Structure 1
Amino acid sequence: MKSDAFDSDGASTTNGEIESTTMFAALAHERRQYALHYLAQKPGAVPLGDIAEYIAVREGDPSRDRYERVLTGLYHLHLPHLLDANLVAYDTEQKTVTLLAGREFLSPYLELIAADA
Protein backbone atom coordinates (compact mmCIF):
# COMPACT_ATOMS: atom_id res chain seq x y z
CA MET A 1 0.00 0.00 0.00
CA LYS A 2 1.31 3.39 -0.85
CA SER A 3 0.83 6.54 1.17
CA ASP A 4 1.59 10.05 0.06
CA ALA A 5 3.13 12.30 2.68
CA PHE A 6 2.58 16.03 2.46
CA ASP A 7 4.49 19.05 3.64
CA SER A 8 2.78 21.94 5.45
CA ASP A 9 1.61 23.42 2.13
CA GLY A 10 -0.08 20.17 1.09
CA ALA A 11 2.53 19.32 -1.54
CA SER A 12 3.55 15.68 -1.75
CA THR A 13 6.96 15.12 -0.16
CA THR A 14 7.35 11.33 -0.27
CA ASN A 15 5.70 8.33 -1.76
CA GLY A 16 6.51 5.73 0.90
CA GLU A 17 5.27 2.23 1.49
CA ILE A 18 3.10 1.45 4.45
CA GLU A 19 2.88 -2.27 5.07
CA SER A 20 -0.60 -3.66 5.73
CA THR A 21 0.51 -5.04 9.08
CA THR A 22 1.92 -1.64 10.08
CA MET A 23 -1.32 0.08 9.10
CA PHE A 24 -3.49 -2.40 10.98
CA ALA A 25 -1.24 -2.16 14.04
CA ALA A 26 -1.55 1.62 13.92
CA LEU A 27 -5.33 1.29 13.79
CA ALA A 28 -5.51 -1.43 16.45
CA HIS A 29 -6.47 0.98 19.23
CA GLU A 30 -9.60 3.09 19.20
CA ARG A 31 -7.78 6.22 20.36
CA ARG A 32 -5.42 6.06 17.37
CA GLN A 33 -8.44 5.64 15.13
CA TYR A 34 -10.05 8.72 16.69
CA ALA A 35 -6.83 10.68 16.31
CA LEU A 36 -6.49 9.83 12.62
CA HIS A 37 -10.15 10.58 12.00
CA TYR A 38 -9.74 14.00 13.64
CA LEU A 39 -6.54 14.78 11.76
CA ALA A 40 -8.08 13.76 8.43
CA GLN A 41 -10.65 16.53 8.90
CA LYS A 42 -8.04 19.24 9.51
CA PRO A 43 -6.04 21.04 6.81
CA GLY A 44 -2.79 21.38 8.74
CA ALA A 45 -1.00 20.94 12.05
CA VAL A 46 -3.21 20.40 15.10
CA PRO A 47 -2.24 20.87 18.75
CA LEU A 48 -1.93 17.53 20.55
CA GLY A 49 -4.25 18.91 23.24
CA ASP A 50 -7.01 19.42 20.67
CA ILE A 51 -6.78 15.76 19.70
CA ALA A 52 -6.93 14.73 23.37
CA GLU A 53 -10.00 16.92 23.89
CA TYR A 54 -11.71 15.40 20.83
CA ILE A 55 -11.02 11.88 22.09
CA ALA A 56 -12.26 12.66 25.61
CA VAL A 57 -15.51 13.98 24.15
CA ARG A 58 -15.86 10.94 21.84
CA GLU A 59 -15.37 8.66 24.83
CA GLY A 60 -18.23 10.42 26.59
CA ASP A 61 -16.28 11.98 29.47
CA PRO A 62 -14.97 15.45 28.64
CA SER A 63 -13.78 16.04 32.22
CA ARG A 64 -10.41 17.59 32.99
CA ASP A 65 -9.20 14.33 34.53
CA ARG A 66 -10.13 12.30 31.43
CA TYR A 67 -8.51 14.92 29.18
CA GLU A 68 -5.24 14.67 31.13
CA ARG A 69 -5.27 10.85 30.98
CA VAL A 70 -6.00 10.87 27.24
CA LEU A 71 -3.27 13.46 26.60
CA THR A 72 -0.73 11.41 28.55
CA GLY A 73 -1.71 8.22 26.72
CA LEU A 74 -1.52 9.94 23.36
CA TYR A 75 1.93 11.34 24.00
CA HIS A 76 3.50 8.23 25.52
CA LEU A 77 1.71 5.38 23.75
CA HIS A 78 -0.37 6.25 20.71
CA LEU A 79 1.66 9.02 19.08
CA PRO A 80 4.77 6.80 18.88
CA HIS A 81 2.73 4.14 17.02
CA LEU A 82 1.49 6.71 14.51
CA LEU A 83 4.99 8.17 14.12
CA ASP A 84 6.54 4.74 13.57
CA ALA A 85 3.96 4.04 10.85
CA ASN A 86 4.84 7.38 9.17
CA LEU A 87 1.20 8.42 9.35
CA VAL A 88 1.88 11.62 11.30
CA ALA A 89 4.66 14.04 12.20
CA TYR A 90 5.04 15.66 15.61
CA ASP A 91 6.56 19.10 16.20
CA THR A 92 8.02 18.96 19.71
CA GLU A 93 8.41 22.74 19.99
CA GLN A 94 4.89 23.61 18.89
CA LYS A 95 3.38 20.38 20.29
CA THR A 96 1.43 19.91 17.08
CA VAL A 97 0.62 16.84 15.04
CA THR A 98 0.42 16.85 11.24
CA LEU A 99 -1.15 14.12 9.17
CA LEU A 100 1.40 12.78 6.67
CA ALA A 101 -0.69 10.08 5.02
CA GLY A 102 -2.96 11.28 2.26
CA ARG A 103 -6.62 11.54 3.15
CA GLU A 104 -7.44 9.43 0.10
CA PHE A 105 -5.19 6.70 1.47
CA LEU A 106 -6.77 6.78 4.95
CA SER A 107 -10.36 7.12 3.80
CA PRO A 108 -11.08 3.41 3.17
CA TYR A 109 -9.62 2.46 6.55
CA LEU A 110 -11.59 5.13 8.40
CA GLU A 111 -14.78 4.14 6.57
CA LEU A 112 -14.23 0.50 7.49
CA ILE A 113 -13.74 1.45 11.13
CA ALA A 114 -16.86 3.63 11.12
CA ALA A 115 -18.92 0.82 9.59
CA ASP A 116 -17.74 -1.55 12.32
CA ALA A 117 -18.69 0.84 15.14
Structure 2
Amino acid sequence: MSNSEQRISTETALRLLIKQQRRQILRRVGDAPGATTVDQLIRHPEGTDSQQPEESGSVERRDLELHHVHLPILQDANVIEYDANQGTVRRSREFQDVLSLLEAIDDHREDASPSP
Protein backbone atom coordinates (compact mmCIF):
# COMPACT_ATOMS: atom_id res chain seq x y z
CA MET A 1 0.00 0.00 0.00
CA SER A 2 1.48 3.37 -0.98
CA ASN A 3 1.54 6.40 1.32
CA SER A 4 -1.25 8.00 -0.71
CA GLU A 5 -3.46 4.96 -0.04
CA GLN A 6 -2.72 4.63 3.68
CA ARG A 7 -5.63 5.42 5.92
CA ILE A 8 -5.50 7.55 9.03
CA SER A 9 -4.57 5.58 12.13
CA THR A 10 -7.09 5.18 14.92
CA GLU A 11 -4.64 6.81 17.33
CA THR A 12 -4.32 9.89 15.10
CA ALA A 13 -8.08 10.11 14.63
CA LEU A 14 -8.64 9.89 18.39
CA ARG A 15 -6.08 12.65 18.98
CA LEU A 16 -7.98 14.84 16.52
CA LEU A 17 -11.22 14.22 18.41
CA ILE A 18 -9.87 15.18 21.83
CA LYS A 19 -10.86 18.82 21.47
CA GLN A 20 -14.52 19.80 21.56
CA GLN A 21 -14.06 22.52 18.94
CA ARG A 22 -12.65 20.02 16.41
CA ARG A 23 -15.58 17.66 17.02
CA GLN A 24 -17.95 20.55 16.39
CA ILE A 25 -16.11 21.48 13.18
CA LEU A 26 -16.38 17.91 11.91
CA ARG A 27 -20.10 17.77 12.65
CA ARG A 28 -20.75 21.08 10.86
CA VAL A 29 -18.67 20.11 7.83
CA GLY A 30 -20.40 16.73 7.79
CA ASP A 31 -23.82 18.42 7.78
CA ALA A 32 -22.90 20.71 4.86
CA PRO A 33 -23.63 19.31 1.38
CA GLY A 34 -20.40 20.80 -0.01
CA ALA A 35 -18.02 23.40 1.27
CA THR A 36 -18.90 25.48 4.30
CA THR A 37 -17.48 28.83 5.23
CA VAL A 38 -15.36 29.66 8.24
CA ASP A 39 -17.97 32.32 9.04
CA GLN A 40 -20.61 29.58 9.30
CA LEU A 41 -18.37 27.62 11.65
CA ILE A 42 -17.90 30.72 13.80
CA ARG A 43 -21.60 31.68 13.82
CA HIS A 44 -22.81 28.15 14.63
CA PRO A 45 -20.25 26.55 16.96
CA GLU A 46 -22.83 24.48 18.82
CA GLY A 47 -22.78 20.73 18.59
CA THR A 48 -23.61 17.63 20.56
CA ASP A 49 -21.04 18.70 23.15
CA SER A 50 -22.56 22.16 23.67
CA GLN A 51 -23.91 21.32 27.11
CA GLN A 52 -20.36 20.90 28.38
CA PRO A 53 -18.38 23.90 29.62
CA GLU A 54 -16.58 25.71 26.82
CA GLU A 55 -12.93 24.67 26.72
CA SER A 56 -11.68 27.69 24.85
CA GLY A 57 -12.93 30.72 26.73
CA SER A 58 -13.82 33.94 24.97
CA VAL A 59 -15.32 34.19 21.49
CA GLU A 60 -12.21 35.98 20.22
CA ARG A 61 -9.96 33.25 21.55
CA ARG A 62 -12.16 30.53 20.00
CA ASP A 63 -12.00 32.31 16.64
CA LEU A 64 -8.21 32.59 16.83
CA GLU A 65 -7.92 28.93 17.79
CA LEU A 66 -10.22 27.97 14.94
CA HIS A 67 -8.08 29.77 12.35
CA HIS A 68 -4.63 29.07 13.77
CA VAL A 69 -4.96 25.75 15.59
CA HIS A 70 -7.97 23.54 14.85
CA LEU A 71 -8.46 24.05 11.11
CA PRO A 72 -4.71 23.70 10.36
CA ILE A 73 -4.49 20.54 12.49
CA LEU A 74 -7.43 18.96 10.66
CA GLN A 75 -5.96 20.03 7.33
CA ASP A 76 -2.52 18.60 8.14
CA ALA A 77 -4.20 15.25 8.87
CA ASN A 78 -6.01 15.39 5.47
CA VAL A 79 -9.39 15.47 7.18
CA ILE A 80 -10.44 18.82 5.72
CA GLU A 81 -9.30 21.22 3.04
CA TYR A 82 -9.04 24.68 4.56
CA ASP A 83 -8.65 27.64 2.22
CA ALA A 84 -7.78 30.58 4.46
CA ASN A 85 -7.87 33.03 1.54
CA GLN A 86 -11.37 31.99 0.42
CA GLY A 87 -12.56 31.27 3.97
CA THR A 88 -13.87 27.83 3.03
CA VAL A 89 -13.69 24.38 4.56
CA ARG A 90 -14.54 21.14 2.76
CA ARG A 91 -14.09 17.43 3.34
CA SER A 92 -10.80 15.83 2.45
CA ARG A 93 -9.53 12.27 2.00
CA GLU A 94 -9.62 11.18 5.68
CA PHE A 95 -12.81 13.03 6.62
CA GLN A 96 -15.22 10.09 6.51
CA ASP A 97 -13.01 7.81 8.61
CA VAL A 98 -12.69 10.41 11.38
CA LEU A 99 -16.38 11.36 11.21
CA SER A 100 -17.35 7.67 11.42
CA LEU A 101 -15.25 7.29 14.57
CA LEU A 102 -16.86 10.40 16.06
CA GLU A 103 -20.33 9.04 15.27
CA ALA A 104 -19.43 5.69 16.88
CA ILE A 105 -18.29 7.52 20.01
CA ASP A 106 -21.49 9.59 20.04
CA ASP A 107 -23.62 6.45 19.58
CA HIS A 108 -21.78 4.72 22.42
CA ARG A 109 -22.33 7.72 24.67
CA GLU A 110 -26.05 7.69 23.86
CA ASP A 111 -26.26 3.93 24.49
CA ALA A 112 -24.51 4.35 27.84
CA SER A 113 -26.91 7.06 29.04
CA PRO A 114 -29.16 5.92 31.87
CA SER A 115 -32.81 5.43 30.93
CA PRO A 116 -35.30 7.82 32.60
Q: TM-score, normalised by structure 1?
A: 0.68
* CA distance in structure 2 between the aligned counterparts of 1:104 and 1:79, rounded to whole angstroms: 16
What percent of counterpart residues are identical?
A: 27
Match of 1:22 among 12, 17, 27: 12
Contact 1:48 1:71 in 2 (8 A): no
Change (3 A) 1:21 1:106: closer
Q: 1:53 corresponds to which residue?
A: 43
Q: How many residues of Structure 1 are paired with residues of Structure 2 in the alignment?
A: 100
Aligned to 1:100: 92
**Runs of 5+ consecutive residues of structure 2 not aligned to the other structure:** 52-56, 111-116
Q: Which residue matches 1:36? A: 26
Structure 1: segments with no counterpart, 5+ residues: 1-13
TM-aligned CA deviation for residue 66 of structure 1:
4.6
Structure with greater strand percent: 1
Root mean square deviation of aligned Cα: 2.7
Residue 73 of structure 1: CA displacement?
1.3
